[in-house]
Chain A
Amino acid sequence: MSWTEDQPIVSLKDVHKSFGEVKVLRGVSMDIQKGEVICIIGPSGSGKSTLIRCINALNDIQSGSITVEGIEVSDPKLDKLALRKKVGMVFQQYNLFPHRTVLQNVMMAPIKVLGQNKAEVEQRARDLIRKVRLEGKEDAYPGELSGGQQQRVAIARSLAMSPDVMLFDEVTAALDPETVKEVLNTIKDLAADGMTCILVTHEMGFAREIADCVYFTDRGVIVESGPPATFFDQATDPRTREFLSQVL
């Protein structure tokens, strides 16, 4: 199946996922168009992180279907490299490679995984480091940076692979309030450039400002979704309203 840009770039249909006896996702469906910014919110344990981890095959699913640009993620013969070239991911704990400098962290994957020319990759890496406003930190090691700086390196590292979709898994949850903003601004820049972004987040203000569509998950299902203006002010489901009343 070949994918064209008018079709959803990421599509989930009736996705079920359980860890042993625990059912984490119980029939999740969503379609995401190219260039859209999606925020997934919900109480902890509602399956939001699992949901986006399934999109780049870090977790496998039991039934249903996930496609990214037409690639069937649940296919047992999935070409993981082809999928991961298209999907970048940023984690809550940054997960940088601690034994490599900032520049090396950004350059490693394009050289090693994609086999790209080192000089070109370095040029692009330096541009990306500038884009996440970390120029001057190229030769620092992750352990020498603040959490917010590390997280921006993680974003640059992911962007160096030139993905079409970016997944953000609670990327500001481990940061202190001051540095949250610098990371959110970086994501905002990305979204403004037209990157398709799927975010799991607890930053309601940010979701309201940036999202094209907000999804509320609870106990493995999507309870409610909609554009932020209607979602935040006119939520209809009692569970959504209860959650929003606690976090807003």
Chain B
Amino acid sequence: MDYSSILDWLWPDWFFNLAVVSDEYNRGRYLAGLWMTAKLAVVSIFFSLIIGAIGAAVQGAQSKTLRVLVGFFVAFFRNTPPLVQLYFFYFAIGTVLRITGDNGLPQPLIGNFGWAIISLSLFAGALNVEIFRAGIEAVPKSTVEAAEALGYTRLQIYTDIVLPLAVRISLPALGTNLVNLVKTTTLAYAIAVPELLYVSAQIWSEDLNVREMMNVLLISYVGLVAILVWVLHRWEKALRIPGYGR
């Protein structure tokens, strides 16, 4: 039996022939795309966390109107495809939101990068609302009662007891959602944000090296997500309470 053909199949020449390492021009484009993806991910994560925290706090509010509004927001972003949301913002709202530029011609108020951030943050934020709410609801009512009996106000209970515990309970589910958010940044390709997938497609259509660029892409995302997972893991470890949950 000819083993060398199997080895060729497992380790073909193109596997380690990564175009972004050998070619300086491609390397520049690749790094710019990687940087854009990192920016999309970090900024969207930041805003999605804020949206999640505010939404979850509002869902515990007295006002029924506010709670129903948050419910609609969550349902809208959870029940529609993120690509459709992105198109909706960029093509539907983006074409209406225009200002007159210096040259007297109408210009979009928010560019494609801005819409990508808004769209991704709202999409992941809506899911974060649910994740944080689940965390808050998992804090035992009896623990809250003990704080009440000690004279704590509602706000003090929320900041000192409920939030610190809810964050810990939410972390695993939050991690899953944020990992998904990093991967969802590739959708920004659809509105021509020059992120990793976009520049890779540019490179492979010019150099006709689709297979090599597929490796580059996959390895890049494995690396990006690994960094996020490492940060989340460190955070989880820092928040771990000795003896808790046993």
Interface size class of B (residues with CB under 8 A): 20 to 34
Whether the pair B150, A161 counts as a contact (CB closer than 8 A) is: yes
A77 part of interface (Cβ distance < 8 Å): no
Residues of A within 8 A of B207 (CB): none
Q: How far is the CB of A64 from chain B (nearest CB, A)?
A: 21
Query: Interface with A: B14-22, B28-36, B45-53, B236-244, which one?
Result: B236-244
Q: In the complex, A145→B161 CA distance in Å?
A: 20
- Give me 28 A-to-B residue pairs in the complex whose CB atoms sit less than 8 angstroms apart, sorted by A's number: A80-B151, A81-B151, A84-B150, A85-B151, A88-B149, A89-B146, A93-B142, A95-B142, A95-B145, A97-B147, A97-B161, A98-B165, A98-B241, A98-B244, A99-B165, A99-B168, A108-B150, A108-B160, A109-B150, A140-B242, A141-B243, A141-B244, A142-B243, A143-B243, A143-B244, A158-B149, A158-B150, A161-B151
Q: In the complex, A88→B149 CA distance in Å?
A: 7
Q: Which residue on B lies nearest to A94, using beta carbons?
A: B146
Which of B148, B150, B160, B243 has its CB near the most chain A CB atoms (within 10 A)? B150
- The residues in B between 126 and 172 inclusive whose CB is less than 8 angstroms from any CB of A are 140, 142-143, 145-153, 156, 160-161, 164-165, 168
The 7 closest A-B pairs by CB, nearest first: A143-B243, A95-B146, A144-B243, A84-B151, A109-B150, A89-B149, A113-B151
Q: Mark A149-180, 1 if CB is under 8 A from B, else 0.
A: 00000100110010000000000000000000
Q: How many A-B residue pairs have CB under 8 A?
A: 77
Q: Mark A79-121, 1 if CB is under 8 A from B, else 0.
A: 0110011011101010111110000000011001110000000
Chain B interface mostly: helix
Whether the pair A143, B149 counts as a contact (CB closer than 8 A) is: no
Q: In the complex, A100→B150 CA distance in Å?
A: 15
Q: Which residue on A lies nearest to B159, using beta carbons?
A: A112
Q: Mark A188-212, 1 if CB is under 8 A from B, else 0.
A: 0000000000000000000000000
Q: Which residue on B lies nearest to A88, using beta carbons?
A: B149
Q: What count of chain A residues pass the 8 Å CB interface test?
A: 31
Q: How far is the CB of A193 from chain B (nearest CB, A)?
A: 21
Q: Which residue on A lies nearest to B239, using beta carbons?
A: A99
Q: In the complex, A196→B243 CA distance in Å?
A: 34
Known: A112-B156, A113-B156. A99 touches B142 (CB 8 A): no
Q: In the complex, A144→B243 CA distance in Å?
A: 5
